[in-house]
Amino acid sequence: MIYDLSVLGRRGEGVMMAQLLNVIQTAVSSLGAGDVLILHGCERIETRVKDYLRRVLDDLRTRGGRSAWLYRDFSVMLADVEANRFETADWTTFGGMTSMELTAYQDRLGVSMPPDLEKLIESSVDRVHLRRGHVNVVFRPDLRLIPRQEA
């Protein structure tokens, strides 16, 4: 299922939040083990909605489902840590970070990264940082947008 709530923002944030709650409740009630709910545009979710949303997603997790919180801006994700609780995630993936963002990220995780890893993450305009548990991987995505032509 895909619900695009972006158009509702034109009618007002209150309308969009009410519809988000209705859709989330309906969608999550049909999800279970192995399912993933992807929330795109999390920077637009109002604070007053986040506690309820977290309870619904905690219930999904107890039934074996997962959720993914997608943000446009890393610093907004860091500021929203009470809602997204990224430090408890099974895995995270980010683009590059500024020096200040990287420091805040490490502080929140309670870790200190090796200098070589810090340098890769700070300078990664075209790289992705993937963290799963204590494993960190930095890579350059090489997406093929044009399929290969078979001869």
- Answer for the pair 140, 126: CB distance below 8 angstroms, yes or no: yes
C-alpha dist (Å) from residue 145 to 72, 125, 131: 22, 19, 25
pLDDT digits (tens, 9 = 90+) for 43-79: 888 888 898 999 999 999 999 999 999 998 888 999 9
The answer, yes or no, to whether residue 151 has pLDDT greater than 70, is: no
Give the pLDDT score at 56: 92
- Answer for the pair 69, 86: CB distance below 8 angstroms, yes or no: yes
The answer, yes or no, to whether residue 148 has pLDDT greater than 90, is: no
Q: How confident is the model at residue 115 (pLDDT cuts 50, 70, 90)?
A: very high
| Overall average pLDDT of the 146-150 stretch | 70
Which of 43-47, 60-64, 88-92, 144-148 is predicted most confidently?
60-64
The 3-state DSSP class for residue 13 equals: helix
Give the pLDDT score at 127: 84
DSSP string, 24-78: HHHHHHT--TT-EEEEE-GGGS-HHHHHHHHHHHHHHHHTT-EEEEE-S-HHHHH
Q: How confident is the model at residue 123 (pLDDT cuts 50, 70, 90)?
A: confident
Please state the pTM of the whole predicted model.
0.79
| Overall average pLDDT of the 114-134 stretch | 86
**Tokens 């300078």 appear where?**
123
Task: Using CA atoms of 69, 74, 78, 80 in order, give the dihedral in degrees to the nearest 10.
Answer: -50
